[in-house]
Amino acid sequence: MNELVINLHMHTTYSDGSGTHAELGRAALKTGVDVLLVTDHNILVQGVDAYYRDGKKRALLLACEEIHDQDRDPQKNHLLAFGITQDFANLADDPQALISAIRKAGGLSFLAHPVDLDMPAFGETDISWEDWTVTGFTGLELWNGFSELKTVARGKLDAIFYAFWPKYIPHGPLPKTLQIWDNLLSTGQRVVAVGGSDAHAKHMSMGFLHRTIFPYEYHFSAINTHTLTPGPLTGNLLEDRKMVFEALAAGHCFIGNDLPAPTRGFRFTAQGRESGIMGDAIEGGATLQAKFPSSAQIKLIKDGKCIKSIHADTLLHVTDGPGVYRVEAYKQYLGKQRGWIFSNPIYVS
């Protein structure tokens, strides 16, 4: 299968980001990202879907949308909508109606930053997902590069440190978000996990300090969602768009943080009477195999519990019964053990 690196969830000048679509496209080419899913707040920008090219390199930009009710206080329940061709912001005040309408239109919906703390030093309120009665969504944003900042930078001094050295921010998905994901999976539903950057590339001025904080290139080199597709991008926009969204909808993807080491090449497969990859359901027993581009501390998780933890570049496991199996990997980076790769599950029945 072919691997496409997707950076998803970012903002442009159409909402509260500082960059244009063309600047995002150039940043993707510079950092080797294949696909950008741009999600401005409450607007589906038309006419910007395009390929950006540099020699043989190609990056595909697709406009999507991040929707939330702007009249709600605090403004919780942000939803990422992918694969849509019409604006759904008019349904923002009813998350279930919104999710159902996106699904009916053939789109995908992901609960954005399900846990997103306040940041009183900057007047930011808690914008976690709150409406847990909703059903029918594709998945959730397990790791969000920007909401993680709020958990490490609680004051202005911390924020200045991380503005200059953003590579110190990523530690892994928030434990509470991982717990929410495992709980949802335990109910028997398929829930696809993606990693988003929530990039804004905002300009910061504090006295003599002027800086673009967390530029797009930084985000594109950090947390990405890698999809496995039947082939590479073809150059046909409609075909490529369909291929990317089908892979995401099926959960044929993993989250990779490229700061500690490159994550391209990771694979998690099952071989039994049937074979499958992340996102697939397998009947009967299977041998699970996780292969990593380099050695790491690997955890095999079954139904939310760690059943194996080894330091290696390959993990093999013969299933001993039905369960939802997924893999996490950690690497030592900048003095700490940090999250590196998080797979989507293989569902063994």
- Considering the complex, state which of residue 80 and residue 244 has its C-beta at the smaller distance from Zn ion: 80
Q: Which residues face 192 on adjacent strands?
A: 139
Count of residues interacting with Zn ion (CB under 5 A): 4
- What's the min distance (Å) between Cβ of 37 and Zn ion? 12
* Among 104-112, 163-171, 230-238, 285-293, the segment contacting Zn ion (CB under 5 A): 104-112
- Considering the complex, state which of residue 69 and residue 198 has its C-beta at the smaller distance from Zn ion: 198
- Considering the complex, state which of residue 70 and residue 287 has its C-beta at the smaller distance from Zn ion: 70
Q: Which residue is nearest to Zn ion (CB)?
A: 78
Taking CB under 5 A as the rule, does residue 40 contact Zn ion?
no
Binds Zn ion (CB under 5 A): choice among 21, 76, 78, 338: 78
- Considering the complex, state which of residue 78 and residue 150 has its C-beta at the smaller distance from Zn ion: 78
* Among 63-71, 148-156, 214-222, 254-262, the segment contacting Zn ion (CB under 5 A): 63-71
User: Half-sphere exposure of residue 16, counting CA atoms within 13 Å on the CB side?
Assistant: 6
Distance CA(282)–CA(348), nearest Å, equals 5
State how far the alpha carbon of 153 is from the alpha carbons of 122, 150, 197, 240, 339, in Å.
Answer: 11, 5, 17, 39, 18
The pairing of beta strand 35-41 with beta strand 2-8: parallel
Binds Zn ion (CB under 5 A): choice among 34, 69, 198, 280: 198
* Among 70-78, 185-193, 271-279, 281-289, the segment contacting Zn ion (CB under 5 A): 70-78
End-to-end CA distance of the chain: 24
Quick check: 291 and 314 in contact, CB under 8 A? yes
Spatial CB neighbours of 253, under 8 Å, sequence gap ≥ 6: 6, 192, 194, 225, 226, 227, 228, 247, 278, 279, 344
Q: State the DSSP H helix or E strand holding residue 22, giving kind and residue range, or none if neither.
A: helix 21-31
* Among 77-85, 173-181, 256-264, 330-338, the segment contacting Zn ion (CB under 5 A): 77-85
- What's the min distance (Å) between Cβ of 6 and Zn ion? 16
Q: Please report, as ranges, the residues that interact with Zn ion according to CB under 5 A.
A: 66, 78, 112, 198
